[in-house]
A and B are shown apart, each in its own frame.
Chain A
Amino acid sequence: MANPPTADNDVLVTEIHIAAPPERVFKALTDSQELIRWFTSPECPAKLWEMDARPGGSYRYATEKGTVVVNGVTEFEYHGEILELDPPRFLAYTWIANWHDDKSRSTVVRWELTPDATGTRVKVSHSGLSQENVARKDYSGGWPGVVEMLKKFVETK
């Protein structure tokens, strides 16, 4: 289960177990052909997923117009640079997203794969989010437009 983000921390941690060896999971995380098949959803259909899985390599993701609106954005785009590549255990990259309040702010996504008896424990940590704190405190934004979602939720409830 995810640790909810709070005002006190800037890391969002989400975990899941996958019944496959870490090597298989790692391939899905780093292979462009595979990424575009799973890192997509009907609400946010991916149209581009390119990853140059080398240290210092870059990646880029973009969606078509979906049904989700965050911070006024409907076509999502994020990109970054590979910071850490240690197959099949660790992968980290910067994450710069066009729906952030600060579209140039570099946050960090890090994947940790740990083998166990039945497959792989997968942990993804998204850090650097506390930098959005000011916006969050002002209730005028936040990552990624969460207050907007909250506002919508509360108002349509």
Chain B
Amino acid sequence: MRHRSVTYSSEATFQALADPTRRAVLDLLRRGSQPAGEIALAFPVSRPAISKHLRLLRRAHLVQEHREGRHRVYQLNPEPLRAVDSWLDQYRSFWSANLASLKAFVEAECAKETRPPRAARPTIKIRVSHRKENDGKPTHR
């Protein structure tokens, strides 16, 4: 198949996604393939305008077209969106990474700072229960 041999152009993907009508077309196709005519009916824009949108989506490989009799049927191809997702991931990773680092740091420091009062109680409880087996030998102050 033709589209398998190409490298998806991120520019074409972003350009295709930049338009609200084209994003809406993708949302529509998420529910299943549609003939061009049905897609056009779903939007309050002219038939040529929808054709142009579909052409841009096709060039960005976000949709694939095939013929069924007289109809041209469009199918969603989400593959190029992976690049977008990874792009966003890189974008959020700066703060995500720093927040994860903040969490690890504060929780470790906080545990150190609050350990004495918190740790004391369960330790005593355990010793108390062991004491009986130890012939009543006191193991705590």
A residues lining the B interface (CB < 8 Å): 2, 4-5, 7, 12, 14-21, 24-25, 28-29, 34, 37-41, 122, 124, 126, 139, 144, 146-147, 149-151, 153-155, 157
Task: Give, as a whole number of angstroms, the nearest-CB distance from A102 to chain B.
Answer: 18
Q: Which of B33-41, B55-63, B70-78, B90-98 contacts A (4 or more CB under 8 A)?
A: B90-98
Is B124 in the interface zone, CB < 8 Å from A? no
List, in ascending order, chain A residues with CB within 8 A of B10's CB: 139, 147, 150-151, 154
Kindly state the separation between the CA atoms of A64 and B11 in the bound complex, as whole angstroms: 33
Contacts A12-B91, A19-B110 hold; do A39 and B99 have CB atoms under 8 A apart? no
Interface residues of chain A: helix, strand, loop or mixed (majority): mixed
Is B129 in the interface zone, CB < 8 Å from A? no
List, in ascending order, chain B residues with CB within 8 A of A37's CB: 105
Question: A150's contact among B83, B97, B106, by CB below 8 Å, is which?
Answer: B83
Kindly state the separation between the CA atoms of A105 and B68 in the bound complex, as whole angstroms: 54
List 19 A–B pairs whose Cβ atoms lie within 8 Å, in order of A's numbering.
Answer: A2-B95, A4-B91, A5-B92, A12-B95, A16-B102, A18-B102, A21-B110, A24-B113, A34-B109, A38-B101, A39-B98, A41-B97, A41-B101, A139-B11, A150-B83, A150-B86, A150-B87, A154-B10, A157-B7
